[in-house]
Amino acid sequence: MKITGARVVVSSPGRNYVTLVVETSDGVVGVGDATLNGRELAVASYLRDHVCPLLIGRDPARIEDTWQYLYKGAYWRRGPVTMTAIAAVDVALWDVKGKVAALPVHDLLGGACRDGVLVYGHAEGRDVEELSDRFAEHLERGFKAVRVQAAVPGAAGTYGISPGDGRVYEPASSHLPEEATWESTAYLDFAPTVFAAIRERFGFGVHVLHDVHHRLTPIEAARLGRALEEYRPFWIEDPTPAEDQSAFRTIRAHTTTPIAVGEVLNSIWDVQTLITERLIDYVRTSVSHTGGISHLRKVYALAELYGVRSGAHGAGDLSPIAHAAALHLDLAIPNFGIQEHMGHREPAGEVFRTSYTFSDGYMHPGSAPGLGVEFDERAAARFPYEPRYLPVNRRTDGTVHDW
Ligand code: KDG
Ligand code: MG
């Protein structure tokens, strides 16, 4: 069998997605997600102009060899654009392999290690009361773990506060990025009160998570971790800018609050220090942005040696194809921790028909061959690309700050 075609489809059913479609001489088609939020066309071009031509004629069964060929063959290494492009090819080839073998991808990866994948949803609010009501709705829907984000008084554009249905929380804007304002001092006083209110109303029988989104200094993050200990968070995520791995030594020295990092990192080398020095508890690199299933499972295997568990990024800007791939891998690894499940805004369901299910706080990728996602290209054509950007953050004096 040979790869006979590879094409990139950029569409916007609810938000922008970049999808790679790989065709083979046997008529089997595989799909991969190549979405990099706000920089979609860079990956689309990387694939179209530099990768798709190299795939034609290759044996789709040779997944690892293709990965090495694309990674080492480019000479230029790592980075979100390269690793997202390689991920799309890798995931599409696992999809093909599963369809050829008539097996779901998790069976190819060694089979299920658990019956379901624990997922966390997002509750947010313009104040703690609204957040608390959203939290209650999540519990009614069956969630066993919920991320909490509330607007910091005085900072209307606080990260994580959804303007709508909760599925697009980073107010993506066209033409020019929106600008938000931030001061960590107000946030540091406010965040423990959010946890206090949630624990007071809902008790300790539910997992509570929180995303700091790279905004603190190491010592501020240490202080936050300490202040939250009594509320027993499942984790605090990205307390400081993730690229500075050594910063986590400071945080670790001061608090036992579990730490999750990795959604903006793209390779095993980017998380090597975090894992081997046991500076984090959960690694959040994703299938889509970390070189696909083949590379992410190496990250998880390294993490397993050091007692670090998985906690993959699963925001709505990773397409349903990425979510399906994540669920297959989550099911098959021994050191699974939790999976983010934000869901996708309609009409995404018209373009991506998925076979994964949610029940009582757990997801399952299903037993369809391959990934179990059908990509409807004709439906995708009805939703053309719309340029959009993530916001930019500034401190009150105008200094650009991590968003
Ligand atoms: O595109 C950026 C989002 O995926 C990111 O802001 C989401 O931090 C995020 C999360 O934890 O879901
Ligand atoms: Mg995050």
Choice among 159, 169, 282, 362 that is catalytic: 159
Q: Which of 36, 119, 211 to mutate to test the pocket of ligand 1 (most atoms within 8 A of CB)?
A: 211
**CB proximity list for 31: less than 8 A, separation 6 or greater:** 19, 20, 21, 22, 91, 92, 95, 321, 371, 373, 375
How far, in Å, are 42, 98, 119, 202, 302 from residue 314 at the CA level? 21, 22, 9, 25, 21
Q: Per-residue pLDDT for 174 more than 80?
A: no
* Average pLDDT for the chain: 96
Contact 315, 33 (CB under 8 A): no
Dihedral (CA of 283, 284, 287, 288) sign: negative
Catalytic status, residue 175: no
What is the residue with the minimal CA distance to atom 8 of ligand 1?
213
Percent of the chain residues past pLDDT 70, beyond the cut: 97
| pLDDT classification of 173: cutoffs 50, 70, 90 | confident
List pLDDT tens digits, range 216-244.
999 999 999 999 999 999 999 999 999 99
In this prediction, what percent of the chain has a pLDDT beyond 90?
93
CB distance 317 to ligand 1 below 6 Å = yes
Instruction: Please report, for residues 31, 135, 160, 197, 212, the alpha-carbon distance to residue 130 in angstroms, rounded to integers and kept in the order given.
Output: 39, 9, 13, 11, 19
Centroid of ligand 2 to alpha carbon of 5 (angstroms): 35
- Whether this model's pTM surpasses 0.95: yes
Distance CA 108, CA 97 (A): 8
- Calculate ∠ Cα 125-127-132, nearest 5°: 60
**Ligand 1: residue whose CA is nearest its atom 5:** 315
Q: Which domains does the chain have, with CATH numbers?
A: 3-103 (3.30.390.10), 108-368 (3.20.20.120)
The 10s digit of each residue's pLDDT in 372-386 is 999 999 999 999 999
Give the model's pLDDT for residue 214: 98
> Hey, what amino acid is at 392?
V
Instruction: Render pLDDT for 272-311 as a digit per residue (tens, 0 to 9).
Output: 999 999 999 999 999 999 999 999 999 999 999 999 999 9
pLDDT at 176: 87
- Among all bound ligands, the one having the nearest atom to the CA of 262 is 2
Using DSSP, state whether 244 is helix, strand or coil.
coil
Average pLDDT over residues 80-86: 98
DSSP-assigned beta bridge partners for residue 11? 17
Residue by residue, DSSP assigns 47-98 as IIIIIHHHHTT--TT-HHHHHHHHHHHTSS--SHHHHHHHHHHHHHHHHHHH
Q: Is the CB of 124 under 6 A from ligand 1?
A: no
Protein residue whose Cα sits closest to atom 7 of ligand 1: 315
Whether the pLDDT of residue 165 is over 70: the answer is: no
Arithmetic mean of pLDDT, 196-202? 98
Q: How far is the CA of 211 from the centre of ligand 1 (A)?
A: 9
For residues 148-159, average pLDDT: 87
The catalytically annotated residue of 122, 138, 210, 213 is 213
Estimate to the nearest angstrom the gap between the alpha carbon of 104 and the chain centroid: 21
Joined together, the tokens standing for residue 166 give 């909760």
State the CB neighbour count (10 A cutoff) for residue 348: 22
Instruction: Kindly state if the Cβ of 263 falls inside 6 Å of ligand 1.
Output: yes
